[in-house]
Amino acid sequence: MFADKFNNTVDQLDILVNNAGCYTFKKYTTDDGMDLTMQVNYLGPFFMTKLIMEKLLKSPQCRIVNVTSGVYTKASVDFEDLSGNRTRNFFFRYANSKLCVSLWTKALARHFPSNVSAFYVHPGMVISNILLDRKSVGGRFIKATLFRYYRNCFEGAQTTIHCCVAPCLEKYSGSYFSNCELQDKANLQNEEDLVEKLWVQTNLFLNNYEVSKKSCESIKTC
């Protein structure tokens, strides 16, 4: 496992960028039984960050930058289905995962206030490999009509880089950035409750998954 190798070879981590992401028109289920979009965009980064948090906490002042999207304000969290399997619509699969990323970032800032600065950033619409099924009807439509208006990867990375290295951002931990600037996003209804509930429920979900996976592996070896 990557986290085991990382923890055994690295003393401390000063900057972590969670940039993995995907957007699909077709619904895919992973080998873990989760929606691909939710696992790649949210659950995977959450789990990996959790596994290497000890190395981040050894840094005098580390930064965690999570890549989200401005569409998160259109989303909702289904606490009964953190795996994302119930959501069929491709837009809401993506938006819901990015809302979870945004709320998780606020939770990181709340739970690690002393030496962790966490930010969530909107890179803009970027020409990248995030669109997995480009040959689908939706993928071909975007490529033919919208790609000309998208940013290239260098342009799209600038806000992320800004949050990694710009000085004096610690006081804005838990905040949202776009175009290298702090954004005054309207708070979601009951946002503070959502932040804490998602933090607790995601940790519980992943802990239960680990236990279930280990039980299955034990049965296979019997």
| 41, 21 contact by CB (below 8 A) | yes
Q: Which of 88, 126, 107 is nearest to 46 (CA)?
A: 107
Q: Is 94 marked active-site?
A: yes
Task: Output the CA torsion 102→108→109→113 (10° steps).
Answer: 180
CA distance 143 to 72: 23
- Among residues 85, 104, 90, the alpha carbon closest in space to that of 22 is found at 90
User: Of 42, 94, 120, 176, which one is the catalytic site residue?
Assistant: 94
CA atoms of 29 and 133, how far apart (whole Å): 14
Residue 150 neighbours by CB distance under 10 Å: 16
- Give catalytic residues, as residue numbers: 94
